[in-house]
Structure 1
Amino acid sequence: MTELTKTLELKLVEPNAHKRRKLRETRKAYQQALHDAFDARCTTQTEANDVVVDYDLSGYAKNALKKYVPQLTTTYNAGELHDDHPVRFTNEGLRLDHKPGNAIEWYVKIPHHEDYHLWMPAQPNPEQRDWLEALNAGNAEMGESRLFERDGAWYLHVTATRDVEVGSEASAEDRTPIGVDIGEASLVTVCHRDDCDSPTAPELWAEEGKTVRRLRKTYFTATRRLQTRGSERLADSFGDDLWNQIDDVFHRVTREVVEYAESVENPVLVLEDLTYIRESMDYGEYMNRRLHGWGFAKLHAQIRYKAAEKGILVETVNPRNTSKECHACGEVGYRPKQATFKCTNDACWVGEYQADVNGAVNIADRYLSGESRSREHENDDDSAEDGGRLTAPQDSQADAEPQQETLGTYAS
């Protein structure tokens, strides 16, 4: 068994005028409280509570704010806020009701303020029905929920955590580790060793890397121009479309990574540990922001839950020097070009090698060396696994909505 966290998507079904007004009142009060607490640079929950306590919000929204604002100001050192954040509720705030006999089966109770709640019909993502049923039956644990409006429709994203079966009972020695290297040039690279201990069947998603880089560049360039001209709403709408395109690429690539693993006997997907990745990124403000925003956590989360649904084990290893060491001799080399690794050991047969494949093999080898460990995520609030962002810790509207630049690091 392994613990898996996933973001469940529900669309609220045509709220009437009264309920729509109440939802917007909640959103307005939440955003005012968020901005006031952020502008006050609250660094503790107590400080945040002193700011948000008097707002006309439910305790579930206030408690979510008290946790979120100190993360923005301390953990992520955010420089400014986007104008349109989703309303967050703690895990106790939302309630589900299932009416299988009704045309609309699912209903959610959304907190408005302390003494007023809204029961609303909701249409879930049909591919997530089993997760929603597990949550309703108490077989999954509800996490934080987020309420937002997009193109005139209202949505809820609800995080759920449950135990799932891991397919193979093979021992660690009998498993085939598949190294998963995530980068900017090739979005993802996978490779494993064959029975003769040679790297085999590498697969690189280089074109997808180019696509995501182009979309990110278009987003930052175009939205800056639109914002300079005062077209904030147009910038937001334009950014939504681009981030949805990026998220589509992420979902397709991570699905294909899992399909690759399914073609291997007794596979285990080996990822680099995100904690170490964040700690090792210190290349100056510009590059830190760029690398931290690349989407490591988003890709990790999608690989994890898609692999778990197929019963494929996922492990993590310390990524130290996986991109610098030669997979054949272990000598620390260098990269004369982004896609080329150069071994400095004259006695080694490698010479030059595809850099991302070299990194993927090194990641797989870390598992074989016994360095791997399962991560349970109880202390990893990376946001990617609960609807997190691609560029920074803040989230505006949904998983793939546009994000203002921050000074920090970034989060289904």
Structure 2
Amino acid sequence: MHVTVTNETAEVGTQTAAETVVGVDINEDCVALAALTEHGIEDSIVLDYPEIKEQRHRYFTMRKRMQEAGQTAFNGVFRDKEQRFVHDQLHTVSRRVVEWIQRFDSPVIVFEDLKDMRDDIEYGTRMNRRLHSLPFAKLRDFITYKAAWKCIPSDDVNPEYTSQRCPVCGHTERANRHKKRFKCCECKHQDHADRGAGISVAQKWLRKQADRNVPALNTLPQVRKWELRRQASGPVDGPTVTHHTVEGHQTEGVSGVSDQSTGRSSGVVRKTQSSVMTRDEVSRTT
């Protein structure tokens, strides 16, 4: 016998009582998470989901070619398939995010307030299409309601300069960031740009609180990356632990760490030798 149970209410903790602030930076192909307390950074991770971007571009190309050929009968079919795929992937990503956040004491999730972001987007036809179609709001909604059932509150901050601000010295300059690489022009700190933005989001939320201290960060933990991808057989599998650092990133005082390649064979979970994740942690996320 199968019984369906629907929860209608949940008691969510207060934001001000939170001990751990988890800054979230949502991007086109990944979401970066950084857990911060008043004593320092607890952990951070970058969760990659490249297939959402790849599949959306694939379906767009297919619809465009059909329109050019005057064959529009299947436009709705392809659009429905695309929406179902993105919907499924976002549920998977949001579930992984909340599972990771649950490990910390009394967390609060802090997002960038991106509700007016599209009003300022004007980068040409192709880039505008990509940015306007990004599911920022849907992913945030999925994370928020899944976290609420776990009694985890959420909040947001002004996203201004979070990706350009150095989380170590506070220097803010557009030249600090180049694509996925962050290098502070002032203190020369290097980092994964999205992870650094997640830390800046958490720091900005702490600065908003009258009775909270923003910790000084001298060194940051190594960047860990998970990648959610679809296997050759079709279903979405758990995360693959890939390299800790991206080329040129500085972690624990080590600069210029080279990029380590990882296999993508079906069903394989790869763990680098210096990984701080245990086998139990990997198994709990799958």
TM range (shorter): 0.5 to 0.7
Alignment match of 1:364 (pick from 199, 202, 227): 202
Superposition pairs for residues 154-169 of structure 1, below 5 Å? Answer: 164-166=10-12, 168-169=13-14
Shift of 1:282: 4.1
Is 1:193 the equivalent of 2:36?
yes
Give distance in 1, aligned partners of 2:155 and 2:15: 14
Residue 249 of structure 1 aligns with which residue?
Answer: 89
Cα pair 2:19 2:37 within 8 Å, conserved: no
Residue 297 of structure 1 aligns with which residue?
Answer: 137
Give distance in 2, aligned partners of 1:250 and 1:328: 32
Larger Rg: 1
Alignment match of 1:322 (pick from 159, 162, 175): 162
Give distance in 2, aligned partners of 1:243 and 1:371: 39
Give distance in 2, aligned partners of 1:205 and 1:308: 21
**Unmatched 5+ stretches in structure 1:** 1-124, 132-162, 373-412
**TM-score, normalising length from structure 1?**
0.46
Taking a change above 3 Å as real, the CA distance of residues 340 and 239 of structure 1, as seen in their structure-2 partners, is: same
Give distance in 2, aligned partners of 1:236 and 1:268: 40
**TM-score, normalising length from structure 2?**
0.65
Shift of 1:230: 3.0
1:233 is paired with a residue whose SS is coil
Aligned length: 207
RMSD value, Cα? 2.5
Shift of 1:189: 1.0
Higher relative contact order (CA closer than 8 Å, sequence separation 6+): 2
Alignment match of 1:339 (pick from 162, 166, 180): 180
Q: Considering fraction of residues, name the structure with more helix.
A: 1
Taking a change above 3 Å as real, the CA distance of residues 196 and 349 of structure 1, as seen in their structure-2 partners, is: farther
Taking a change above 3 Å as real, the CA distance of residues 202 and 280 of structure 1, as seen in their structure-2 partners, is: farther
Give distance in 1, aligned partners of 2:53 and 2:177: 21
2:74 is paired with a residue whose SS is helix
Taking a change above 3 Å as real, the CA distance of residues 234 and 314 of structure 1, as seen in their structure-2 partners, is: same
Residue 222 of structure 2 aligns with which residue?
Answer: none
Q: Considering fraction of residues, name the structure with more strand.
A: 1
Deviations 1:106-163 (A, max 9, x none): xxxxxxxxxxxxxxxxxxx946x344xxxxxxxxxxxxxxxxxxxxxxxxxxxxxxx6
Residue 273 of structure 1 aligns with which residue?
Answer: 113
Alignment match of 1:224 (pick from 34, 46, 64): 64
Taking a change above 3 Å as real, the CA distance of residues 269 and 229 of structure 1, as seen in their structure-2 partners, is: same
